[in-house]
Chain A
Amino acid sequence: MNDSVVAQMVVSGALMGLVYALIAYGFQLTYATSKSINFGQGELVMVSAFICLSLTNLGLPYPVMVPLGLFCGSLLGLFVERSGVRLALEQKSEGWILLTIIIGLLFFSVSENIWGRDDRPFPTPIPSDAIQLFGISVTPVEISVAVGVFMIMGIIELFKRKTLLGKAFEAVSADRDAAELMGISATKTIMLSYSLSGMVAALAGILVAPITTVGPTMASALVLKAFSVAVVAGLDSGFGVVVIGLFLGALESLTSYYVGSGWREAPGLVLLILALAIRPTGVFGAAVIRKV
């Protein structure tokens, strides 16, 4: 067994794992403010990728297409919030689970009708010819995944820590009633979290599409893995999803190499079951300490 092959597997798997981490981060954003998540997040990834493909086909250059795509993603996120999540939250029900699944299915059939069922290549100006880095060959497309993921998570975390609006976001997740008493509208903050989450999903779509191609089912496996990353890492740790995402990605590609490619999906599911059984708050999830 060759060390460099293993290293190669770990690196390219881990880079893919960053996409899981990014989608999982999208779950965390909305969970923080509203204790709800969009179970149709995978469809947001897919629809955004299709929209970006159409924008590219219209002749828009990449640097224009990306911000437009992110903007569309945040609009889609807002749509999910307004047409589904809010209705359930207003009645303090758990109906958002079904509603977000239904909206996801709706997105799925709409995009099948608009864009068809075929998987299509996603053109990108970033070259996909491998380059050698410390003896490991990576493609610039893979590197762009890492850069994109860390950039957007960095920007959102900075926003949460350094701006007053971001601190208000944290306040709503810490104590919704108390935040309302400060004049912070919980409804608007939840809208903000859904639009950020939609934007993150769109970026995941843009980053991953050159690797996976664009098709109606492109994100169904991704989102399942993202879900296990979110559960294993805990729904409140941005750092945790990155670590677990990297880990799961690497583990997957090693599994498919050593055990067989049919077993690729197994580690994510096993981790999910273990996490739910052993530590439901997540490896990085803090147990809340309350002083009364």
Chain B
Amino acid sequence: MLTVDNLHAGYGASEVLLGVSLTVTQGTVVALIGPNGAGKTTTMRAISGLLKPTGGEISIDGRQVQGMDASRIAKLGLAHAPEGRKVFGPLSVEDNLLLGAYCRLPKFFGFLGKAAHDLERVYELFPRLLERRTQSAGTLSGGEQQMLAIGRALMANPKVMLMDEPSMGLAPVIVEEVFAIINRLKETGITLLLVEQMAKRALEVADYAYVMERGRIVVEGKPAELQKDERVLSAYLGSVATAE
């Protein structure tokens, strides 16, 4: 569904990604883990078009998308719940969700009716958002904003979804909740690329995982294999386990 081949990207003169290749097949959850500064978020930004790749290929559902504007890539079925959540602070929770489905809805009138079904589905997943639907998104707590960012991405009914650091800055109990949601989404057959600092948690939910270091994929495999890999274990899982 999503293939990234030899992706290069960076900011100005500094190259961050030095040839990243990965594949997310339909209906699987793939984790991308690695230390800070490895280029995980840059990979996400390059895939979704927020950052123009300097080389390599990206295809979504068989279509080449590298170099396109982010808004066009979104229309082709990619949703991205970005790092730092990036909800539209001054807009209401419901407006945020509606905008998630922007590509599929009529632009002037009647969009509420057309989105009703999807809204219901997201509210069922995140009852807190239903309670706060008229509140402006900027006033939500960090955890609620994360739920909103995920819900907003789901509203697009995407073919592929990217989720960047959903646990960042959240209290442990909220992190539990976020991973519970990811598990539920997995049961519904979502195709997801998940970037996480909490490598251990990410490996628990993933079908397949890539480990990234200094702009390259260094190890890949099934979570069960990675969990046995000495290098991965000492470098990421051990340290994360103590951090937790």
Q: When chains A and B are docked, how far (Å) is the Cα of A289 from the Cα of B137? A: 12
Given contacts A165-B107, A174-B91, contact A181 B48 (CB under 8 A): yes
Q: Are B138 and A184 in contact (CB under 8 A)?
A: no
B71–A186 touching, CB < 8 Å: yes
Q: Pick from B71, B90, B91, B109: contact of A184, CB below 8 A.
A: B71
Partner of A181, one of B79, B90, B111, B138: B79
Q: Which residues of B contact A289 (CB under 8 A)?
A: 89, 138
CB < 8 Å neighbour of A177 from B86, B95, B141: B86
A167 touches B99 (CB 8 A): yes
Question: CA A163 – CA B102 in complex, angstroms?
Answer: 11
Docked complex Cα distance between A142 and B179 (Å): 62
Q: Nearest B residue to A188 by beta-carbon distance?
A: B71
Number of A-B contacts (CB under 8 A): 97
A6 CB → nearest B CB, Å: 40
CB atoms of A174 and B88 under 8 A apart: yes
From 163 to 182 in chain A, residues with beta carbon under 8 angstroms from any chain B beta carbon are 163-165, 167-168, 170-171, 174-175, 177-182
Contacts of A180 in B (CB 8 A): 49-50, 69-71, 74
With the chains together, A177 CA to B80 CA distance in Å? Answer: 11
Quick check: is B237 within 8 A (CB to CB) of the other chain? no
Chain A residues near B100: list those with CB within 8 A: 182
Nearest to B112 among chain A residues (CB) is A164
Number of chain B residues whose Cβ lies closer than 8 Å to a Cβ of chain A: 39
Which of B71, B84, B95, B100 has the largest count of A CB atoms less than 10 A from its CB? B71
Q: Which of A271-292 contact B (CB under 8 A)?
A: 288-292
Please provide the chain A residues from 200 to 244 with a CB less than 8 Å away from any CB of chain B in the complex.
none
Closest beta carbon of chain A to B127's beta carbon, Å: 21
| CB pair B90 A174 closer than 8 Å | yes
Please give, as numbers and ranges, the residues of chain A lying within 8 Å of B111 by CB-CB distance.
Answer: 163-164
List of B residues within 8 angstroms of A178 by Cβ: 82, 86-88
Majority SS of interface residues in chain A? helix
B7 beta carbon closer than 8 Å to chain A: no
Looking at B50, B90, B105, B169, which has the most chain A CB atoms within 10 Å of its CB?
B90
Indicate if the CB atoms of A170 and B142 lie closer than 8 Å: no
Q: Which interface residue of B80, B100, B102, B111 has the most chain A CB atoms within 10 A?
A: B102
Task: Say yes or no: is B156 at the interface (Cβ < 8 Å to chain A).
Answer: yes
B 129-162 binary contact with A (CB < 8 Å = 1; else 0): 0000000001011100100000010001000000
Q: With a CB–CB cut-off of 8 A, which chain A residues contact B99?
A: 164, 167-168, 171, 179, 182, 184
Candidate in A167, A180, A182, A186 with the most chain B CB atoms within 10 angstroms: A182
* In the assembled complex, B103 has its CB within 8 A of some CB on chain A: yes
Asked whether A56 is an interface residue with its Cβ less than 8 Å from the other chain, the reply is: no
Point out the residue from A164, A177, A290, A291 that lies within 8 Å of B82, measured CB to CB: A177
Structural contact, A183 and B103, CB atoms closer than 8 A: yes
- Please name all residues of chain B whose beta carbon is closer than 8 Å to the beta carbon of A177 when the two chains form the complex: 50, 70, 82, 86
Q: In the complex, which of the residues A164, A182, A186, A292 contacts B107, with contact meaning CB atoms closer than 8 Å?
A: A164
A184 touches B69 (CB 8 A): no
Q: In the complex, what residues of A have CB within 8 A of residue B98's CB?
A: 164, 167
Q: Which among A170, A187, A291 has the highest number of chain B CB atoms within 10 Å?
A: A291
Q: Is B189 interfacial (CB-CB < 8 Å)?
A: no
B102 to A291, Cβ gap below 8 A? no
Checking B71, B91, B103, B142 against A291 with a beta-carbon cut-off of 8 angstroms, the contacting residue is B142
Q: How far is the CA of A74 from the CA of B47 in the complex (A)?
A: 36
* Residues on A with beta carbons closer than 8 Å to the beta carbon of B71: 179-180, 182-186
Q: Known: A174-B91, A289-B138. Is A181-B80 also a contact (CB below 8 A)?
A: yes
Contact present for A170 and B88 (CB under 8 Å): yes
Residue contact B109 to A163, C-beta cutoff 8 Å: yes
Which A residues, 7 to 48, have Cβ-Cβ distances below 8 Å to chain B?
A: none
Question: Taking the complex as formed, is B221 at the interface, i.e. its CB lies under 8 A from any CB of chain A?
Answer: no
In whole Å, how far is B88's beta carbon from the nearest beta carbon of chain A?
Answer: 4
Q: How far is the CB of B194 from chain A (nearest CB, A)?
A: 16
* CB-CB contacts below 8 Å: B52-91 with A: 69-72, 74-75, 79-80, 82, 84, 86-91
| 15 intermolecular pairs with C-beta atoms under 8 Å apart | A163-B107, A164-B98, A164-B106, A164-B107, A170-B88, A174-B91, A178-B88, A179-B99, A180-B70, A181-B70, A181-B79, A182-B99, A187-B69, A288-B89, A291-B141
Beyond A174-B90, A184-B99: 15 further Cβ-contacts under 8 Å?
Answer: A163-B109, A164-B107, A164-B108, A168-B107, A171-B88, A175-B88, A177-B82, A178-B82, A179-B71, A181-B79, A182-B74, A183-B102, A183-B156, A290-B138, A292-B84
Interface residues of A, Cβ cutoff 8 Å to B: 163-165, 167-168, 170-171, 174-175, 177-187, 288-292
| Smallest CB-CB A-B distances: 6 pairs | A183-B74, A180-B70, A178-B86, A183-B103, A174-B88, A165-B107
